[in-house]
A = this chain, B = another copy of it.
Amino acid sequence: MKGLVILSGGLDSTTVLYKAMNECDEVEAISFNYGQKHKKELEFATFNCRVLKIKHTIVDISNIRDFLKSSLTSNVEIPKGHYEEESMKSTVVPNRNMIFTSIAAGYALSNKFDFLYLGVHSGDHAIYPDCRPEFIKSIENTINIGNYEKIKIITPYINSSKTEIVTDGLKMNVPYAMTWTCYEGKVKACGKCGSCVERLEAFEKNGIKDPLKYEDEINV
């Protein structure tokens, strides 16, 4: 069976990539440059595809940044604090997952993939409506109504917390030092945006130190 993974280069989708490698005979990954400040994540996506020796397609749709309003793609400051806080709503990119999934599905259908893997998880549900189970079910249905070929969407962690994803990924030896989660695209992760806070918590709850470098760390 053939699986296509939507890979951001972050912790969740990279873990999904390793999972797909265990489940499919053939795996490819697809990533999107949508004008995100943290475009740096794409370098991490590329790294992991090279390590796994799989084909990686980066789709450049960066000009949609001009009209999709979000703090992730504009001059608006990225909010600090916990992932579930109301202020994090500014990081919503309208219809982002639908845009990514539609293009990835077009690729998957053109190239006879059986499965399309997405890295959504339960921690996303509070803020991002396009990460909820009812959305995934609906978009899968829409794709299959709209095309001659059919595809199945696989979301291994849709009911898991980030902590559980890390637990699973550690078993698969996912190289977490080479995954990028921070919404700021700086040299080191900020450690303060909602995305960093959630990630740090996930490692802490697993009883290990996140191997990624953070801004306020003391260099030893």
Contact = CB atoms under 8 A, between A and B. Distances in A.
Given A59-B64, A69-B110, A141-B138, A98 B130 contact: no
Interface string A78-99: 0000000000010011111111
A94 B110 contact: yes
Contacts of A207: none
A69 B103 CA distance: 12
A143 interface: yes
A52 to B, nearest CB: 20
Contacts of A145: 129, 132, 134-135, 138
A102 B64 CA distance: 11
Contact of A94 (B94, B98, B106, B135): B106
Interface string A133-157: 0110011011101111100000000
Contact of A67 (B61, B63, B110, B130): B110
A89 B147 CA distance: 11
B69 A59 contact: no
A21 interface: no
Copies of this chain, whole number? 2
B63 A59 contact: yes
List 3 tightest A-B contacts by C-beta distance, closest first: A95-B106, A130-B146, A94-B109
Interface of A: 57, 59-61, 63-64, 67-69, 89, 92-99, 101-103, 105-107, 109-111, 129-130, 132, 134-135, 138-139, 141-143, 145-149
21 contacts: A57-B67, A60-B63, A61-B61, A67-B106, A68-B110, A92-B148, A95-B105, A95-B109, A95-B146, A96-B106, A98-B106, A98-B142, A98-B143, A98-B146, A99-B99, A99-B102, A129-B147, A129-B148, A134-B145, A138-B146, A142-B142
